[in-house]
Chains A and B, each alone.
Chain A
Amino acid sequence: MKRTVILLGLLLAAALACSPAAEQPQPAQTTPEKKPLKVGLLTPGSINDDGWNAIAWEGLQRVKSELGAEISHQETKTPAEFQEGFRSYGARGFDLAFGHGFEFQDAALAAGKEHPNTIFITTSGNSVAANVSPMVFELEKATYLLGIIAARESKTGKAGLVGGIKLPSIEGTFTAFKAGAQSVNPNFVVTAVYTGNFDDAAAARLATLSLINAGADFILHQANEAGRGVFQACTERKVRCFGSNKNQNDLAPDVIVASAVLDVPAAFLRMATLVRDKQFKPQIQYLGINEKIVSVIWNDRLKGTLKPGTVAEVEKVEKQIREGTVKVPRGF
């Protein structure tokens, strides 16, 4: 036993000795002439998730490549780590720190108080302070427009909505869809079904089929990964539908008329640009059509099959939303 201990001690010593202690990392105070923007990001999960966290990482990379910013990222699991991450960015003089989720609000407020020179932005939320703001994506402005398309093109006067979990943000997009549709046809019927999760494509498919059986001839989903099931059902039954969050037009090119697209990386870039240009104002940062974060992207293959005037009508209302003459209900 004693010999093992000595051996391992030697091994440890060797490991330490082999690496010259001189080359310590130099945090970026080396270029005083042109101080680069420093931007940090906290994600609640691994950035390799191909989803929520990956898209934030992509945003951070855009900030780096387009603004030449110095970036830093930490995967944080517990509120203790949220606070540690934010405080650390504040203490090291970062200009901007993102927390990717509503759960970062409390930590942002606490760190914001201690580090007034750093701006803390959370993805979603409603907490605002002098240097703390949430980004709120107005996807509902796009789903309002999708509602107009559905009401104009529907033969049955009915549309179906398939949601994952009944979250306020999801309900909001559905409320706007219904308002858009009823602005065209006040008697238009919209039915929403929630599957209870975001990954069960089979459940989403069944929900879609039941909506189609009940007469819906347009489907909008807000089910993330499970959206695949919606497209399957619509392709099987040749019922038209919409893509959501991303440009999903290629996933089912025969049935997807248009997608309501949310460009999250662009939102990160926009906030970083505001901070760099000292244009940041503490408020809930609504990011929608005006800011080119949210948009409706047509499926060019199906664009020609629509009734004459639909595309023009959508473009007209989009302009009115941008000018503020048409108000889209937020629903929450």
Chain B
Amino acid sequence: MKQIALAALAAFIAIALLALAAGAFGHSPSAVLAILFEGSVGSSFAVRETIIKSIPLLLTGLCVVIAFRAGVWNIGAEGQFIVGGLAAMLAARYGVAASFLAAAIAGALWASIASLMRLWRGAPEVLTTILLNFIAIHLLGWCVNGPLREASGRYPQTDLAMATLPRLGGVHFGSVLALIAAIVSWWMLYRTTEGLRLRATGFNPAAAKFAGINVAAQIVRAMAYSGALAGLAGGIELLGVTHRLFERFASGYGYAGIAVALLAQLHPIAAIAAALFFGALSSGAGELQRSANISATIATFGQAVVLLAVVAFTSRWRKRDA
């Protein structure tokens, strides 16, 4: 609880620093704050845009939460997001449900490459997941330039997906799915046998082993859950927002998920707030550019400051080291 309060404080401080930094470059800090507010939650339009951006952030954030909770350093949400999008595209002709199922399975399988390499050859998943990101990006590039290129052949992008997510009040249905995913993740982690074992494996694999938990199998399953969430994020983004694939389909949602998970202190419910925060920051930064011509770098800056503040204020890692 205290950790969450500290994370919230870190977020506030980051916003204040962001305004002050803008002040240092000749903009009025209060005006900057006003625009950030206006552009993120100041109108129903802004709220909708913030929510739409938060959906993939929440899902990739949950992906990272689950993996890190199990002590598996999955940095590969970006790649799992991409293969999820690819699978959803291919399965779209069979409908939305089939598309999401395919996306989740593809993400899980892609992530499993890393966990199996860890178990078989001891390859650290921090490395393998990042390398798998590059492979996924190039796989996508090849697909949209080659076999999946639009029928007219004109641009390196696919045709429109054959399924679309329904919308609810201007926001696609993925918002509901992402919320459900957060609640299910929480329930799984804190209310099921699987979650108990997963957390024990993450906190103390030696103790988990002596208590009779199959740590290796647990790691493989955690990585699969994690990858499934990122894959689902890709599928939802495809059918809800982009409706087609092109080379920059993922554009950093996977990495932003790490920021969401850390700000949320690896708690699935807190991840909802963290995703909304980063979504709002991004919308607010867009408005800052549009109406005050302040560079987009400010959003990146804000994200970095939040992370630094979170790491500085929370003692989770310090305690583990002692």
Contacts and interface: CB of A to CB of B under 8 A. Distances in A.
B49 A126 contact: no
Contacts of A102: 154-155, 157
Interface residues of A, number: 45
B252 interface: yes
B30 A74 contact: no
A84 to B, nearest CB: 4
Contact of A77 (B33, B152, B153, B248): B248
Nearest to B282: A81
A76 B286 contact: yes
B244 A106 contact: yes
A80 interface: yes
Contacts of B253: 78
B13 A23 contact: no
A311 interface: no
Interface string B132-169: 00000000000000000000111111001000000000
Interface in B243-270: 243-244, 246, 248, 251-253
Contacts of B157: 102-103
A16 B154 contact: no
A87 interface: yes
Nearest to B30: A19
A91 interface: yes
A93 interface: no
Interface stretch (A6-14, A29-37, A200-208, A237-245): A6-14
B92 to A, nearest CB: 15
A188 B21 CA distance: 62
Contacts of A126: 152, 154
Interface string A92-115: 000000000011001000000000
Contacts of B94: none
Contacts of A79: 237, 241-242
Listed residue (A18, A24, A46) with the most chain B CB atoms within 10 angstroms of its CB:
A24
Contact of B28 (A23, A73, A77): A23
B156 to A, nearest CB: 7
Interface string A132-175: 00000000000000000000000000000000000110000000
Interface residues of B, number: 49
Contact of A167 (B33, B156, B244, B295): B156
Contacts of B293: 72-73
B229 interface: no
Contacts of A78: 53, 241, 248, 251-253
A8 B152 contact: no
Interface in B270-294: 282-283, 286-287, 289-293
A73 B290 contact: yes
Contacts of A125: 155
B291 A27 contact: yes
Interface in B290-322: 290-293, 295-296, 313
A228 B244 CA distance: 35
A102 B293 CA distance: 24
A9 B31 CA distance: 20
B29 interface: yes
A8 B156 CA distance: 49
B9 A168 contact: no
A74 B287 CA distance: 8
A88 B289 contact: no
A254 interface: no
B242 A24 contact: no
A203 B49 CA distance: 43
Nearest to B20: A15
Contacts of A83: 49, 52, 241
B23 interface: yes
Contact of B49 (A8, A15, A80, A106): A80
Interface in B19-75: 19-20, 23, 28-31, 33-35, 45, 49, 52-53, 56
Interface string A39-81: 0100010100000000000000000000000001111111111
14 contacts: A12-B12, A19-B31, A23-B30, A23-B31, A25-B291, A25-B292, A78-B53, A80-B237, A84-B286, A85-B286, A91-B45, A102-B155, A103-B157, A106-B243
Q: Shortest 4 CB-CB distances between A and B: which pairs?
A: A19-B30, A75-B296, A79-B242, A19-B29
Interface of A: 4-5, 8-9, 11-12, 15-16, 18-21, 23-25, 27, 40, 44, 46, 72-81, 83-85, 87-89, 91, 102-103, 106, 124-126, 167-168, 332
